[in-house]
Amino acid sequence: MSGEPTPSVTYPAYADGGLKRLLIDGHLVDSRSGATFECLNPATGETLAWICEGDAEDIDLAVRAARHAFDDGPWSKMKPYDRQIILSRFADLVDARHDEIACLDTLDMGMPLVRTMGNRRRAVGMLRFYAGLTTALLGDTIDNSIPGEYLTYSLKEPVGVVGAIIPWNNPHIAFIWKVGAALAAGCTVVLKPAEEASLSALLLGEMLLEAGLPAGVLNVVAGRGEVAGAALAAHADVDKIAFTGSTATGQEILRSSAGNLKRVTLELGGKSPNIVFADADLERAAEGAAMAAFGNSGQVCSAGTRLFVERPIFDEFVDRVAKVAEGLKVGNGLDRSTQLGPLVSSAQLERVTGYFEVARGEGAALRTGGVRLTDGEHSKGYFVAPTIFTEVEDEMRIASEEVFGPVVSAFSFDEGEDLVRRANATTFGLGGGVWTRDVSKAHRYARAIRAGTVWVNCYNLMDPAVPFGGYKMSGYGREGGVHQLDEFLNVKAVWLRTD
């Protein structure tokens, strides 16, 4: 029966309808105000849990705990090897309990189980990657030109207390991405998960304690963005904010961070171009273009939402993508055959269906989808059909604003026209795709697209060792790759007179 977990997946005990507490200074605690908020399954509307709602007071306690753990506690004095052991143990625990964590995310924000469970390799791989990096932090010895005998070298030191603010669209991966790297660098952390999907972050926090993380090194404070998140971004004892979310919130965070000039990295929105040339493997490209836009119901910052198709193949190719879209199974993510789950919330549903109206009003033609699904198993959740618009002009809102739903705008282009200008005519610069069999063309466009990642004949692949991040208003700083640790490190120069 749809909505029931498949037999091989154990329903996570954590989603037992009970009260989930905040993690502050090694203890599970109620919020100071006593406020709680309800956590709903977006596929069914059922209550999964109640969560203690932190505000500025709880954030302050958490920051104090993190500050103490950094300044006076064992963490910053621990040898890299010992930090590595804890991160490795945590990786083992995540590996052992990944089905449960994945199922929790599916229940909490709707992403199909096939996809959340498919994240095991990435989740565990990231933790092992960061664990490895703990013992590979290098400074430099530097030749200087000062007359006399002076040795100069650099030290890499953790920035201190990190405020990590994460979104709901891939919750356990977002947690690991930020917390794993910050801990590897020797920082302490206060994490604020998204109010739409806080469960896996709270569970992972408890698991880190089980792995041996000292009290106060990681604190998890659930709560509302404009309250708990804003308090964290503005807090004078936080040394750095690592944020993933919308561009508007990123700008807000940057303003709040000015008080103590804390360091900030921002991984924000996108409106990524996905370019299909007539010489591409069209079958592969159609499947790839569909999933680039519709995967995770389009709730992916790097989704390929502007599909540029070379004119001679435009009709045929859009037909192919529409066929893929119409064949996708939209439903409760617990069903293993589901390919697209619900949108995360009623607010998100309103936003996405609002864009259906915007696009129609602007004169775009609906090729497929464009509706909320309400029949049968869809009746209680926030489901929409994967949607393609054609006859879209570059200037329309549907072509320029981030929808964050399974919606793609298809444009045709002619050989020789200034495609690069059109592809880059966006305030964003997170991702891009190129589909062609011509290797020169592939390289040329990979260079020309102004974005942090370009995928050629594939889309949205991620790996712990490969950096990811934005150009332009998609933010700055890189996650993943050896580059990421530098985001959590200060560089200190040391001068030593040796004569």
Q: Shortest gap between Cβ of 169 and ligand ADP (angstroms)?
A: 7
Q: Shortest gap between Cβ of 150 and ligand ADP (angstroms)?
A: 45
Q: Is 192 in the site for ligand ADP (CB under 6 A)?
A: yes
Strand-strand pairing, 407-413 and 306-310: parallel
Between residues 170 and 424, which has the closer beta carbon with respect to ligand ADP?
Answer: 170
Q: Shortest gap between Cβ of 232 and ligand ADP (angstroms)?
A: 7
Asked if 207 and 177 count as a contact pair (C-beta separation under 8 A), the reply is: no
Catalytic residue flag (residue 103)? no
Q: Is 54 in the site for ligand ADP (CB under 6 A)?
A: no
Angle value at C-alpha 335, between 333 and 336, nearest 5 degrees: 100
Q: Would you give the binding string for ligand ADP spanning residues 222-261, x where CB under 6 A is met?
A: ---xx--xx--x-----------xx--x--xx--------
Between residues 220 and 423, which has the closer beta carbon with respect to ligand ADP?
Answer: 220
Instruction: Kindly report the number of other CB atoms within 10 A of residue 401's CB atom.
Output: 16
CA dihedral 44, 50, 51, 53 (to 10 degrees): 110
* Catalytic-role residue among 267, 310, 377, 402: 267
Q: Shortest gap between Cβ of 134 and ligand ADP (angstroms)?
A: 27
Strand-strand pairing, 273-276 and 19-20: unpaired
* Catalytic-role residue among 103, 301, 310, 402: 301
Which listed range, 221-229, 328-336, 353-361, 445-453, lies at the site for ligand ADP (CB under 6 A)? 221-229
The secondary structure element, H or E, covering residue 258 is none
Q: Shortest gap between Cβ of 326 and ligand ADP (angstroms)?
A: 27
Q: Which tokens in the block code for residue 141? A: 């010895």
The residues with which 308 forms a beta bridge, in sequence order, are: 275, 411
**Out of 165, 309, 330, 449, the residue judged to bind ligand ADP by CB under 6 A:** 165
d(Cα 392, Cα 398) in Å, to the nearest integer? 8
Cβ within 8 Å of residue 243, ≥6 positions away: 164, 165, 233, 249, 250, 253, 264, 265, 266, 267
Catalytic residue flag (residue 267)? yes
Q: Is 194 in the site for ligand ADP (CB under 6 A)?
A: yes
Residue with tokens 């209680």: 380
Among 469, 414, 442, which Cα is nearest to 250's? 469
Q: Is 195 in the site for ligand ADP (CB under 6 A)?
A: yes
Between residues 35 and 489, which has the closer beta carbon with respect to ligand ADP?
Answer: 35
Which listed range, 122-130, 191-199, 353-361, 381-389, lies at the site for ligand ADP (CB under 6 A)? 191-199
Q: Which tokens in the block code for residue 118? A: 């498919």
Which stretches of the chain bind ligand ADP, using CB under 6 A?
Answer: 165-167, 192, 194-195, 225-226, 229-230, 233, 245-246, 249, 252-253
Catalytic residues: 267, 301
